[in-house]
Structure 1
Amino acid sequence: MKQVRVLIYFILMAAGIFMLLPAGAADTHNSVVYTVPVEETVERGLSAFLERAVEEAEEAGADHIIFEMNTPGGRVDAAGDIARTIRESEIDTTAFVVQEALSAGAYISLNADQIIMEPGTEMGSAQVIDGSGNAAETKAQSAWLANMRNAASQNDRDPVYAEAMADPSVVIEELNVGEGELLTLTAAEAEEVGYAEAVLDSREEVLSFLGLEDAEVVEFELSPAEQIARIVTHPVIIPILLSIGGLGLVLELYSPGFGIPGILGAGSLFLFFFGHTVAGFAGWEALILFIVGAGLLALEVFSPSFGIFGILGIGAVLTSLILSSFSTVNILISFVVALLVTIAGMVLLMKYADRAGPMKRVVLQDATTSEQGYLSNETRTDLDGAEGTAVTVLRPAGTGQFGEERLDVVSEGGYIEQGRKIKVISSRGSRVVVREID
């Protein structure tokens, strides 16, 4: 009985030790930290990249994401999407300002759980600017100020400094920011007003400050496709691509074969759809619709349909561009710019360039000139001075007999009776002029 009791105790002890093993193994598991660069202009391509970075970090079970900030700002709508991605992340986040976080970059940083800055860096100057470089309208500015205040408040930061970054009417005396100036915080000032948790020199110091010095660091980088997407989805680049695309294809109509203009045109349009597809704005349906529209426009050129194919083609192309774009207003402006450039190119080509290539099929190139041997009637110079008889009355036209040959003739203007003697005084093509002789 005693042996059985000892055996039971032994089994229970072994079971307890076994149950503790997984907990011990979890304690020895290294943490994972993702570092994600936030560089250059804030636009839709960057938004898609950061969304992918956060999703991958969450799938990998990362413990922390460090956004290394170095941006002068950019589009407000893209910054809003990025901020939402950061706020909704299940992982703790830190904005590490390695050079500058201005304008939209400041707003993105304020949405992170913590802000750490390197010495000599700065953050702020976040007023909304329109396309012409002026302050945005009151409605847009008011919404942006609310976003800045909310971003600061959600992480227990004084919202007055965030408002001063975007509103030049806010005065911050302790930082010598007067009316008409925007607040831009240095690293030391940000730490002083509670906008930066620390000022550190390197990523290693940041990891140590976060208690993650032993963590596995995963450096998340842009793929080549995302690098292209960031460029071609820029609002300034889009109208350029569409203009080159339209003008290149028009030039190809005036070139024999398929040459450089066609390659440039097709390549520009490919870059547009490729970049917007990678950025997550376009799908295959947009590309297919564009190809259908281009085909309808080609049919209108080579098989005129009184504008039906042309109207349908333009509608299909425009719809495909709208489906591919993140902003309907921006793509409509880009489309109008590209259309004007293409029309101007067509006018110049039709006025100054010889037609060639596929246009030969719809435009007659040859001229039926006498220099090239084209004659409507042969001039009978051998008839000059020939004498004959009026077979019919000439009033003034009629028929004359010259030897064994009958010809349609016309008198100089007078009436000549049938049977009278006549003489050829000139012959030009089919016109043979005669006069009566005694």
Structure 2
Amino acid sequence: MRLMRKSRRARFWMSVVVAFVILSFLLSIVSYVWAAVDEVFVLSIDGAIDPAVASYIERGFKEAESVGARAVLLEINTPGGAVDSALRIRNRMDESPLQTIVLVKHSALSAGSLIALAGDVLVMRPGSTIGAAEPRWVIPGSEPRPVDAKTLSAWKAEMEGTASAHGRDARIAAGMVDVDMEIEGVKSRGELLTLTAEQARELGMCDAVQGTRQQALKFCGLGSCSQNEVNMGAAEHMARVMTNPLVAGLFLMVGIALLVIEFFTLGWGIPGTLGLICIGLFFGGHLVAGLAGWESVVLFLLGVVLLLLEILVVPGFGIPGIAGLVALGVSVFLAVGSVEQALITLAIAGVGAVLLVILALRFIEKRNYWPRFILMDRQSSQEGYTSRETGYDRYVGQQGEALTVLRPSGTALIDGERLDVVSEGDFVEPGQKVRIVKVEGLRIVVRPEK
């Protein structure tokens, strides 16, 4: 009897434990679903559209989808920006299973109009505007200029396709891009189409005109949902600065210049460290923005190693030097993501680095700072120093032939023996006759024969 009672008690408590576990599991699922149903993620585009902004929007959508949010509300106030970044955002909006609501706070111009038209629901505040989406080619320091006909046609098709896919008038969207297009009663030839909020609603380009975020959510039936604002992180803000072609070129320029200056000094010091930091910020910003991968960093380091090999080991300028320059150029192209931006960045970095190194070396020489970086003591014979006898003195006056290019160092054949020699500064081609003019310890100086 006692054993039966104990067995019944054990089964009872086991049932209680199992029921408690099942109930807890069900409650957790219900609370998760309840929280997911009542949450709207709020993202914001404020300012120019660039790769860092596109990465931020992609991150926001991923977080919203991971928790099963009801919708994503994208607030826009932008004069435009990079077309490729706007296309990344548009594509992410289209791929998301969540409802996407776009609220134009002040303006959605140029590339911003594409993002606005991609919303499942487009709401505009009173007084806001949308349109003026003609693409322009922008070079830092110069006036924007129109793009070629091929690019214009492709962008026009993107605008038309996006508008049509979301139930909006494709002709109106095309009129925001094509200045030569005429739409009766809407725009004349020779002007770009920009719509106010009221005009956009009348033409069916926006779904509602509402003054606040809460009113926009209420219009969409989400007024009771909680709002989860996702802001740009510190790394994304840094990436936004570093992906600017002018800033990226300046950081790359300073980094290269400081590394070159470091090669002139003894050991490793502040210039080399600061140079690596600048280059790290350049690639780091593009990595965060999603433009670059680690392969671009590895390729850049490979290019630096090849150039050092060319400068310090291989005489003349040959395959390692050319391969190093190609590796550097390709690494920058992979990092910035476009040919135009890569050319701008490389031009700024290359020309600026050369000028910066020249100015730095002149400043160091003028201020007599070289003794702080380089050992200037000379062990001359007047001070009692003598060089080790090498036996090379017997070659003085003899004639030979250059086996390699002398720039000014290289190899020459003298009296049947290969010797490491240096010219007096002249460029000497292989096969040219040379004569040894003096020997200083292990240094054999030659002069080309006329």
Shared fold, TM over 0.5: yes
**Does the 8 Å CA contact 2:134/2:176 hold for their aligned counterparts?**
yes
User: Which residue, out of 165, 171, 181, partners 2:191?
Assistant: 181
Q: Distance in 1 between matches of 2:192 and 2:65?
A: 36
Higher mean alpha-carbon deviation, 253-262 vs 93-102, is at 253-262
- Give how far 1:127 is off: 0.2
One-letter amino acid matched to 1:136: V
Distance 1:248 1:197, change over 3 A: same
**Does the 8 Å CA contact 2:75/2:102 hold for their aligned counterparts?**
yes
Matched, 1:53 2:73: no
Matched, 1:265 2:279: no
- Give how far 1:25 is off: 5.5
- Give how far 1:286 is off: 2.7
Within 5 Å, give how 1:268-283 maps onto structure 2.
268-283=278-293
Q: Residues 131-187 of structure 1: CA distance to partner in whole angstroms, max 9, x if unpaired? A: 251211111111111111111111121122211211122345545x43322111111
**Does the 8 Å CA contact 1:82/1:108 hold for their aligned counterparts?**
yes
Q: Distance in 1 between matches of 2:322 and 2:241?
A: 31
Aligned residue number for residue 146 of structure 1: 157
Aligned residue number for residue 419 of structure 1: none
Aligned residue number for residue 144 of structure 2: 133
- Give how far 1:356 is off: 3.2
Distance 1:208 1:306, change over 3 A: same
**Does the 8 Å CA contact 2:79/2:107 hold for their aligned counterparts?**
yes
Q: Classify the secondary structure of the residue corresponding to 1:166.
A: coil
Q: Distance in 1 between matches of 2:379 and 2:196?
A: 76
Aligned residue number for residue 167 of structure 1: 178
Higher mean alpha-carbon deviation, 335-344 vs 36-45, is at 335-344
Q: Distance in 2 between matches of 1:249 and 1:358?
A: 17
Distance 1:357 1:327, change over 3 A: farther
Aligned residue number for residue 330 of structure 1: 341
User: Which residue, out of 176, 189, 200, partners 2:210?
Assistant: 200
Aligned residue number for residue 219 of structure 1: 229
Aligned residue number for residue 38 of structure 2: 31
- Give how far 1:129 is off: 0.6
- Give how far 1:222 is off: 0.8
One-letter amino acid matched to 1:289: L
Distance 1:324 1:28, change over 3 A: closer
- Give how far 1:347 is off: 4.1
- Give how far 1:56 is off: 1.6
Identity of aligned residues (%): 34
Aligned residue number for residue 230 of structure 1: 240
**Does the 8 Å CA contact 1:253/1:358 hold for their aligned counterparts?**
no
Distance 1:257 1:202, change over 3 A: farther
Aligned residue number for residue 406 of structure 1: none
Aligned residue number for residue 386 of structure 1: none
Matched, 1:356 2:363: no
Distance 1:248 1:357, change over 3 A: farther
User: Which residue, out of 275, 295, 320, partners 1:285?
Assistant: 295
Q: Distance in 1 between matches of 2:46 and 2:238?
A: 14
Structure 1: unaligned runs, 5 residues or longer:
1-17, 375-438
- Give how far 1:303 is off: 4.0
Within 5 Å, give how 1:3-22 maps onto structure 2.
none
Q: Distance in 2 between matches of 1:358 and 1:291?
A: 28
Q: Classify the secondary structure of the residue corresponding to 1:244.
A: helix
Q: Distance in 1 between matches of 2:259 and 2:371?
A: 12
Q: Residues 92-143 of structure 1: CA distance to partner in whole angstroms, max 9, x if unpaired? A: 1011011211100001111111110111211111001112512111111111
Aligned residue number for residue 115 of structure 2: 108
**Does the 8 Å CA contact 1:100/1:123 hold for their aligned counterparts?**
yes
Q: Distance in 1 between matches of 2:344 and 2:378?
A: 41
**Does the 8 Å CA contact 1:253/1:357 hold for their aligned counterparts?**
no
Q: Distance in 1 between matches of 2:374 and 2:314?
A: 15
Q: How many residues align?
A: 351
Aligned residue number for residue 353 of structure 2: 342
One-letter amino acid matched to 1:356: W
**Does the 8 Å CA contact 1:115/1:196 hold for their aligned counterparts?**
yes
User: Which residue, out of 322, 328, 340, partners 1:311?
Assistant: 322
Q: Distance in 1 between matches of 2:106 and 2:268?
A: 48
TM-score (norm 1): 0.71
Distance 1:369 1:164, change over 3 A: farther
Distance 1:304 1:179, change over 3 A: same
**Does the 8 Å CA contact 1:325/1:331 hold for their aligned counterparts?**
yes
- Give how far 1:254 is off: 5.1
**Does the 8 Å CA contact 1:253/1:359 hold for their aligned counterparts?**
no
One-letter amino acid matched to 1:222: M
**Does the 8 Å CA contact 2:265/2:374 hold for their aligned counterparts?**
no
One-letter amino acid matched to 2:114: Y
One-letter amino acid matched to 1:156: G
Q: Distance in 2 between matches of 1:287 and 1:25?
A: 47
Q: Distance in 1 between matches of 2:110 and 2:379?
A: 65
Distance 1:258 1:201, change over 3 A: farther
Q: Classify the secondary structure of the residue corresponding to 1:342.
A: helix
Q: Distance in 2 between matches of 1:114 and 1:62?
A: 16
Higher mean alpha-carbon deviation, 30-39 vs 258-267, is at 258-267
Q: Distance in 1 between matches of 2:94 and 2:239?
A: 24
**Does the 8 Å CA contact 2:51/2:291 hold for their aligned counterparts?**
no
Supply the RMSD in Å over aligned alpha carbons: 3.3
- Give how far 1:49 is off: 1.5
Aligned residue number for residue 12 of structure 2: none
User: Which residue, out of 36, 40, 59, partners 2:47?
Assistant: 40
**Bigger radius of gyration, 1 or 2?**
1
TM-score (norm 2): 0.69
Q: Distance in 1 between matches of 2:363 and 2:81?
A: 42
Q: Distance in 2 between matches of 1:306 and 1:123?
A: 59
Aligned residue number for residue 297 of structure 1: 307
